[in-house]
């Protein structure tokens, strides 16, 4: 068995049944990282010695759990007491956290082996992983293209089989969008389903931690490990956590799939709309009723998000002043000059842009006109979904408007980059769970590569178990999740 060419659940079972040792598995993934990471730049740090030591403890029975021996990657905005937590920013280039994120603690308690931290857009602000202070991540399907963002490193690591599963954060689509562009499964839970303790904040009312995997089963197992109430996070809901993996086998009876016409635009790549049409046929062929649903405030999602998220970012990032921790300028005339120089040197252009947008929206005389108005529209967007779910169990739509775009194609046009998240931001504004599923491939515009396309499913709040069942039904009758890129060396 090649440990790097299997699913997370299959790998977990092989280790538990002694058909493979954790040391063999971890060594195989570390070798693959060593071979391919220099070209893909999916990882910032790789914890070779620590990972092998943990694997040895799994093999001798000292470490047990639902994920014992499984190599996992985490986005570099999750705090760990080992290594650095940089958020891909010069501001935190040498920051070492004094505590572990709750998600990290739960993963290690379950026996997972964290092999490294992955690249991201700086402070999770971006849709391409080009806005990293340490260089862009490349898409394994075509290294001239982006992997999506901001969790592009995690998505690329799973797609390239550099880890069995990975974690990212999703503020406006930062799990689902890179999952779509890299041809893997990405899941954003309901806001409050997973603790945000130890996640470096971007926009606190939108941020959510979630998993990447090869299959819906992988996602179900990972979500099961990390979900649940946390006294360290007051926004984490005290809702019961299902056995998501076991409940996947429950039949998806009396299924109603909602189809929002606002999401099926002629501006989408034809392959994206075709993927949605084919998914509709799959569900209909299995007895589902497909109903039209109306999400009338869809078009306001992007402008609403890009007021709310930068406003919260402006507040959250105010703490990086060059005094307490983080980058400090070497030369300054006075305290105000020290603040200004430290922030100017430590933050990249996209972070500065969003801080300025958010500060402006919150400033005297503009708060009511922009931020308060955006909050009212956010409520309308949430109500749109609430009304839609009265008629359906899940909403089917695209994840992205098209396949991965070329590196550098949108960096000079921020509005074009922001528009790439048109089908994902509303899910964050509404706080509902969403999953992106591989749905086929299309030929790149230069005719040289095949590129993944994806579909997305949304569900009602805290309906993760049902949403995963519906996703599993699609996966069970398609083979799109089996696709793997041919890696360049």
pLDDT beyond 90 at 59: yes
Active-site hit among 127, 128, 132, 150: 150
Q: If phi over 0 gives left and psi between -120 and 50 gives alpha, with beta otherwise, what is residue 292?
A: beta
- Average pLDDT of 38-61? 98
Per-residue pLDDT at 415: 86
Please compute, for residue 295, the number of CA atoms within 13 A of its CA located in the half-sphere on the CB side. 29
Q: Where are the alpha helices (DSSP H) in 112-242?
A: 152-159, 176-182, 216-226
The CA distance from 414 to 10, in Å, is 41
Does residue 429 fall inside a structural domain? no
pLDDT tens-digit map of 23-32:
999 999 999 9
Does residue 476 fall inside a structural domain? yes
Per-residue pLDDT at 445: 77
Per-residue pLDDT at 248: 96
**The CATH number of the domain where 475 resides is what?**
3.90.1300.10
Does residue 137 fall inside a structural domain? yes
First to last CA, the chain: 23
- Give the containing element (helix H, strand E) for 260: strand 256-260
Nearest to 148, CA basis, from 179, 186, 183? 179
Is 174 noted as a catalytic residue in this protein? Answer: yes
Does residue 186 fall inside a structural domain? yes
Q: What is the pTM of this model?
A: 0.97
Is 340 noted as a catalytic residue in this protein? Answer: no
Active-site hit among 75, 188, 410, 472: 75
Does residue 287 fall inside a structural domain? no
Quote the mean pLDDT of the chain. 96
Does residue 208 fall inside a structural domain? yes
Per-residue pLDDT at 449: 85
pLDDT beyond 80 at 137: yes
**The domain containing residue 148 runs over which residues?**
8-253+439-446+466-482
pLDDT tens-digit map of 155-208:
999 999 999 999 999 999 999 999 999 999 999 999 999 999 999 999 999 999
Does residue 353 fall inside a structural domain? no
Nearest to 115, CA basis, from 75, 67, 163, 183? 163
pLDDT tens-digit map of 81-113:
999 999 999 999 999 999 999 999 999 999 999
- Average pLDDT of 377-384? 98
How many angstroms separate the Cα of 212 from the Cα of each of 140, 165, 178, 413, 441? 15, 6, 10, 28, 19
Does residue 72 fall inside a structural domain? yes
Q: Are 159 and 183 in contact (CB under 8 A)?
A: yes
Q: How confident is the model at residue 304 (pLDDT cuts 50, 70, 90)?
A: very high
Q: How confident is the model at residue 423 (pLDDT cuts 50, 70, 90)?
A: very high
User: What is the number of domains present in the chain?
Assistant: 1
Active-site hit among 89, 154, 174, 314: 174
State the Cα angle at 56 between 209 and 17, rounded to 5°. Answer: 80
């Amino acid at each position: 068995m090649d440990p790097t060419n299997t699913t997370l659940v299959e790998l977990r079972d092989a280790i538990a049944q002694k058909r493979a040792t954790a040391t063999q598995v971890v060594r195989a993934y570390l070798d693959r990282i060593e071979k391919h990471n220099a070209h893909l730049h999916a990882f910032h740090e790789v914890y070779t010695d620590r990972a092998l030591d943990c694997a040895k403890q799994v093999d001798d029975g000292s470490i047990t759990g639902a994920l014992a021996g499984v190599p996992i990657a985490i986005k570099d905005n999750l705090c760990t007491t080992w290594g650095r937590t940089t958020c891909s920013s010069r501001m935190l280039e040498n920051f070492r956290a004094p505590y572990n994120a709750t998600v990290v603690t739960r993963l290690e308690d379950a026996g997972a082996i964290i092999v490294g931290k992955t690249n991201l857009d700086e402070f999770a602000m971006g849709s391409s992983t080009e806005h990293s202070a340490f260089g862009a991540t490349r898409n394994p399907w075509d290294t001239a293209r982006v992997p999506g963002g901001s969790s592009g490193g995690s998505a690329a690591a799973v797609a390239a089989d550099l880890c069995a599963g990975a974690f990212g954060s999703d503020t406006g689509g930062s799990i689902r969008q890179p999952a779509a562009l890299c041809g893997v499964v990405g899941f954003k839970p309901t806001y409050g389903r997973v603790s945000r303790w130890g996640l470096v904040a971007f926009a606190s009312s939108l941020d959510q931690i979630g998993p990447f995997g090869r299959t819906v089963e992988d996602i179900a197992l990972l979500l099961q490990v990390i979900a649940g109430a946390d006294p360290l996070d007051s926004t984490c809901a005290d809702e019961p956590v299902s056995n998501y993996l076991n409940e996947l086998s429950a039949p998806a009876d009396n299924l109603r799939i909602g189809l929002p016409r606002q999401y099926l635009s002629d501006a989408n790549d034809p392959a994206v709309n075709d993927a949605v049409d084919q998914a509709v046929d799959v569900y209909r062929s299995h007895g589902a009723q497909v109903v039209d649903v109306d999400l009338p405030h869809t078009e306001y999602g992007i402008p609403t998000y890009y007021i709310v998220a930068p406003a919260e970012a402006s507040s959250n990032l105010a703490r990086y002043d060059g005094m307490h921790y983080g980058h400090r300028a070497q030369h300054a005339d006075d305290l105000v000059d020290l603040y200004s120089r430290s922030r100017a040197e430590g933050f990249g252009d996209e972070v500065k842009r969003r801080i300025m947008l958010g500060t402006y929206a919150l400033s005297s005389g503009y708060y009511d006109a922009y931020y308060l108005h955006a909050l009212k529209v956010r409520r309308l967007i949430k109500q749109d979904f609430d009304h839609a779910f009265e008629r359906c169990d899940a909403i089917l739509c695209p994840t992205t408007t098209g396949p991965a775009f070329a590196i550098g194609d949108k960096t000079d046009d921020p509005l074009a980059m922001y528009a790439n998240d048109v089908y994902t931001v509303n899910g964050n504004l509404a706080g509902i769970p969403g999953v992106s599923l591989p749905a086929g491939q299309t030929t790149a515009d230069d005719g040289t590569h095949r590129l993944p396309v994806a579909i997305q499913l949304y569900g009602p709040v805290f309906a993760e178990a049902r949403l995963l069942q519906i996703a599993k039904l699609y996966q069970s009758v398609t083979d799109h999740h089996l696709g793997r890129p041919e890696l360049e060396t």
